[in-house]
Amino acid sequence: MATGETGFDDVTYDLISVQYHALKAGHDYGQYVRDAKNAGRDDIAEFFSSVMAEDSARAKQCHKFLKDLATSSQAGPATS
């Protein structure tokens, strides 16, 4: 795999980026759930909860892939 300016290969960088954004969004969605509940919109709160769970699963999957890459020869010098 090609290693970019960061020292990480593109796939590792991409996974880290997706993981970060999924975790950040999950944090923000907690506020959205509270806002919807405070507005009496449990249906919307459930929607935000579902979106939050999807991002949590996405972050966990990225973590698994990153662990796999870290123990392979494909990860590049920054993860070894």
pLDDT, position 6: 65
**Total number of residues shown for the chain:** 80
- 47 burial (CB, 10 Å; 0-12 / 13-18 / 19+) is middle
Note the pLDDT tens digit of each residue in 26-51: 989 999 999 999 999 999 999 999 99
Helices (H), 1-80: 10-38, 42-70
Question: Do 76 and 6 contact (CB within 8 A), yes or no?
Answer: no
Predicted TM-score (pTM) of this structure: 0.75
Query: Domain spans of the chain?
Result: 10-71
Where residue 72 falls among pLDDT bands split at 50, 70, 90? confident
pLDDT, position 9: 81
Alpha-carbon gap, residue 7 to 27, rounded angstroms: 28
Looking at residues 51-80, what average pLDDT do you find? 84
